Amino acid sequence: MRFQCQPGCIRCCEQPGHIYLSPADIARISGHLILTQAEFRRQYVCGVKGRERLRKPRAKQCPFLLSDGCGIHTVKPLQCKAFPFWPEILDKASERRDAAAYCPGLGKGPLVNIRVARRVANQVLREYPEVYQPDAE
Ligand code: SF4
Ligand code: SF4
């Protein structure tokens, strides 16, 4: 697997789907926005404990998506930072094909060290345990 994120690209941020938030994500992003965690939750978060996620605005997939990139790039959720090294993408060829259909960085650049990619995927599994339960949607 080769991967190199392409400058100026925001295609992964435009894909339909949920952006889950771990407690660490919420602490980091709310601090960056100078909001309490309760204020951040009120403005930006929906979903139940363990599967909290960013609330979507009407016209786009993410409240922090700007025309030129992520408005919270330095503190973005681990889910975003980890892409495309999500557990399901590493484990399933069909998921890799689906991701490659919208991510122009997959298949470009240097070969990915699988141990590094797996470490990222394991961190995702640890931070979002409820999202990756077998019966999760
Ligand atoms: S779709 Fe791929 S290349 Fe584009 S921003 Fe996301 S990870 Fe980078
Ligand atoms: S938080 Fe940033 S990186 Fe994640 S989907 Fe929103 S705009 Fe994209």
pLDDT tens per residue, range 11-47:
999 999 999 999 999 999 999 999 999 999 999 999 9
Q: Using a 6 Å cutoff on CB, does residue 70 contact ligand 1? A: no
| DSSP character string of 3-48 | E-PPTT--GGGGSSS--B--HHHHHHHHHHTT--HHHHHHHHEES-
CA distance 105 to 5: 5
Question: Is the model's pLDDT at 137 over the cut of 80?
Answer: no
Which pLDDT score is estimated for 133? 80
> Measured in angstroms, how far is the CA atom of residue 77 from the centroid of ligand 1?
15
**Nearest protein Cα to ligand 2, atom 1:** 76
Question: Is the model's pLDDT at 99 over the cut of 60?
Answer: yes
Which of residues 117 and 59 earns the better pLDDT score? 117
User: Whole-model pTM?
Assistant: 0.93
From the alpha carbon of 4, which atom of ligand 1 is closest? 3
| DSSP character string of 90-108 | HH-HHHHHHHHHH-TTEEE
Q: Which residues fall within 8 angstroms of residue 97, CB to CB, at 6 or more apart? A: none
Q: Using a 6 Å cutoff on CB, does residue 11 contact ligand 1? A: yes
